[in-house]
Amino acid sequence: MGSSNYEPTSKAAKWFEERLPILGLIHGTLGAGYKAPRNLNYWWNFGSLAGFMLVVQIITGIVLVMHYTPHVDMAFRSVEHIMRDVNYGWLLRYTHANGASMFFVVVYIHILRGMYFGSYKSPREVLWFLGLVIYLLMMATGFMGYVLPWGQMSFWGATVITNLFGAFDFYNGMGESILHLLWGGFSVDNPTLQRFFSLHYLLPFVIVGVVILHIWALHLPGSNNPLGIDAKGPGDKIPFHPYYTAKDAFGLSFFIVILAIFIFYLPNIMGHPDNYIEANPMVTPPHIVPEWYYLPFYTILKAVPDKLLGVVAMFASILIFFVLPWLDGSKIRSAKFRPVTAFFFWLFIANAIFLGYLGTKLPDEIMIHIGGGLDALTLGRIGTILYFAYFIVIVPLVSRMESTKPVPTSIAQSVLDSRKEA
Amino acid sequence: MITNDQAEHSEEVTRRNFLYVASGAVGAAGVASAAWPLVNQMNPSADVLALASVEVDLSTIPMGHTVKILWRGKPVFIRHRTESEIEQAVADDHADLKDPQDDEKRAIRPEWLIMVGVCTHLGCVPLDQRGDFGGWFCPCHGSHYDISGRIRKGPAPRNLEVPKYAFLNDTTVKIG
């Protein structure tokens, strides 16, 4: 991180820099001092978009807390108070709620971009790990945030998800002890709400810390690029500022339009209407669904007939990303030069979206009407097997056996070649 | 100082090695004892534990009906079973059970079936008189329970839990 050749222009900046070299740090990280590959495409926008969403969530979250009350008797009412009475409260809450969804959209694209272009491969494995840690922290934060309005989906989502940890029942009563520890009671109740609130406030700042490590780890090897080859000479690189700050700002302006469409025109499309009914521990809604960004994993949970193994499969479906750098044995990073890899990558995405779609369905629901009909559970099992087969069979074999396309010798050369063709 | 250096090089066990281990152990014990209150505060507090039992008047529950009461933040089903339901439950003792348990072990008095109304899969509240076995059905992930609250079909691993309860007299039961 940081740049040793930063020379402040003003006297005051020079004075300050000698005492705390933070300007040089910023210059070298997000300024002209960071030399990035010249061929980054718009898929490389999503890192800074994720950073933008983190800031939006923290700012809107902090102001929402000024009006919210984390208590079972008042939480639901205080959210309605925000919606009806607080000046611009509806805007703040809709931005925060839809912002969470958009944060996940951006992060999913960011992760998938890393998968397609082989950004997880050596020497960026730790960078990849830190990104996955951020993602796991986001999952925990998003889940606990959804509990805070204390609607029916909040309550029953919390009940279902916390009960997952009861599956670790290795000796008599262990599962129950874990649950009582998580809940602070015998069920999801006020102590649970209060601790979720505390952690929902804390975790975003932990995410900020891991993001700093993520950027630090990025700046040792530098950014990957669409060709997946190392950027070597000065002809391969351009300064981050003004080139990528401008490109990121341009992408950001598009993104903000999409975010605004959701906030102003479709504010509840990602939510569930049952969450506008106050939590009631005596009545389970007929159909509990988690937020969309958990749905593929929810299907994997439901697909396994055993409770413990279902929970293990669900956690494994995320943790398996940690070993991806070693499952992939190819010498070439970018799927641009690995057509079979690219094909299976898109198949993986289609399967993940399909698993997410099945997550909204009841297990017995007939999805495909052939013969006796295929129900959601059966299809979920097929999708789950395909999901794990991608990591355990397809990637290790294809990456080692595939005959790849020729890779350009340098980024600069590839740019020159493409100009000749044009 | 010279003797100390020589001792370190020769890998002999010295007084200093002992001091390292001893101070490390004391430090670790200190950290553990400071961490315990931070962990244990998460467990149910005294006022939560104090509300741990509830008394219910059974005289108002007609035969063939289920009443739901709230106990420890969870619903408890109290079903006044009919003769035929009891017969069915006893007959099912020999059915193919995932978590085998005889009906007489699940009800102190056969006409009163008292169970925690929380699905043993992931904690939803099963619906009364639904499902394939005349008992309860969990809408979340499709677990079927029979008229004794035993799991018969679906992902739930165990029968509906029977809480600790006692009959104070013929019409009053104390749960918890």
Which token pair is A304? Answer: 């396994």
Which token pair is A169? Answer: 């029942």
Q: Which residues, in sequence order, are CB contacts of B134 under 8 Å at separation 6+?
A: B85, B88, B146, B147
Of A180, A284, A363, the CB nearest to B124: A284
The nearest CA of chain A is from the CA of B52 a distance in Å of: 9
Q: What is the pLDDT of residues B143-160, one digit of tens each?
A: 899 999 999 988 888 899
- What does the alpha-carbon distance between residue B88 and residue A8 come to, in Å, rounded to a whole number? 87
Q: Looking at the complex, does the CB of residue B51 fall below 8 Å from at least one CB of chain A?
A: no
The nearest CA of chain A is from the CA of B107 a distance in Å of: 22
pLDDT tier, B6 (very low <50, low <70, confident <90, very high otherwise) = low
From chain B, pick out residues whose CB is under 8 angstroms from the CB of A302.
Answer: 141, 155
Q: So what's the pLDDT on residue B4?
A: 54
Report the interhelical angle of A245-265 vs A46-65 (nearest 10°): 50
Q: What is the pLDDT of residues B17-41, one digit of tens each?
A: 999 999 999 999 999 999 999 999 9
What are the residues of chain A with a beta carbon less than 8 Å away from any beta carbon of chain B?
Answer: 156, 159-160, 162-164, 166, 180-189, 191, 195, 281-284, 286-288, 302, 305-307, 310, 362-364
User: Is residue B80 annotated as a catalytic residue, yes or no?
Assistant: no
pTM check: above 0.90: no
Instruction: Single out the residue of A370, A102, A421 nearest to residue A256, CA to CA.
Output: A102
**Residue-wise over A356-382: b if at least 16 C-beta within 10 A, else e?**
bbbbebebeeebeeeeeeebbbbbbbe
- With 0-12 CB in 10 A as exposed, 13-18 as middle and 19+ as buried, what is A139? middle
Q: How long, in residues, is chain A? A: 422
Q: So what's the pLDDT on residue A365?
A: 75
Q: Which residues, in sequence order, are CB contacts of B96 under 8 Å at separation 6+?
A: none
From chain A, pick out residues whose CB is under 8 angstroms from the CB of B54.
Answer: none
Q: What is the pLDDT of residues B41-79, one digit of tens each?
A: 999 988 888 777 888 899 889 988 899 988 888 899 999
Q: So what's the pLDDT on residue A284?
A: 84
Q: Average pLDDT in the B168-175 region?
A: 89
Distances (CA, A) of A85 to A60, A325, A344: 17, 51, 51
- What does the alpha-carbon distance between residue A231 and residue A335 come to, in Å, rounded to a whole number? 17
Q: If residue A307 lies in a helix (H) or strand (E), which one and from where to where?
A: helix A307-319
Number of neighbours of residue A165 by Cβ within 10 angstroms: 14
pLDDT tier, B5 (very low <50, low <70, confident <90, very high otherwise) = low
Which residue among B65, B121, B141, B144 is the active-site one?
B141
- What does the alpha-carbon distance between residue A357 and residue A351 come to, in Å, rounded to a whole number? 10
Which token pair is A57? Answer: 């969530």
Residue holding tokens 């933008």? A52
> How far out from the chain centre does Cα B45 lie?
17
Torsion, CA B13, CA B19, CA B22, CA B23, rounded to 10: -150
Amino acid identity, position A191 = P
Number of neighbours of residue A170 by Cβ within 10 angstroms: 8
Q: So what's the pLDDT on residue B1?
A: 47
Ordered DSSP codes for A378-414: HHHHHHHHHHHHIIIIIHHHHHHHPPPPPPPS-HHHH
A282 with B70: Cβ contact below 8 A:
yes
Distances (CA, A) of A293 to A18, A181, A289, B39: 46, 27, 11, 30
Collapsing DSSP to helix, strand or coil, A210 comes out as helix
From chain A, pick out residues whose CB is under 8 angstroms from the CB of B74.
Answer: 186-187, 281
Report the interhelical angle of A152-164 vs A125-147 (nearest 10°): 130
Tens of pLDDT, residue by residue, chain A (422 residues) = 444 578 888 999 999 999 999 999 999 988 899 999 999 999 999 999 999 999 999 999 999 999 999 999 999 999 999 999 999 999 999 999 999 999 999 999 999 999 999 999 999 999 999 999 999 999 999 999 999 999 999 999 999 889 889 889 888 889 989 999 999 998 999 999 999 999 999 999 999 999 999 999 999 999 999 999 999 888 899 999 999 999 999 999 999 999 999 999 999 999 899 999 999 988 888 778 889 999 999 999 989 888 889 999 999 999 999 999 999 999 999 999 999 999 999 999 999 999 999 998 877 777 777 777 788 889 999 999 999 999 999 999 999 999 999 999 999 888 888 887 76
Distances (CA, A) of B73 to A358, B113, B116: 32, 20, 11
How does DSSP classify residue A273? G
Instruction: Single out the residue of A405, A407, A24 nearest to residue A230, CA to CA.
Output: A407
Q: So what's the pLDDT on residue B3?
A: 54
Q: So what's the pLDDT on residue A3?
A: 46
Q: How many CB pairs under 8 A join A and B?
A: 83
Q: So what's the pLDDT on residue A4?
A: 54
Q: Looking at the complex, does the CB of residue B176 fall below 8 Å from at least one CB of chain A?
A: no
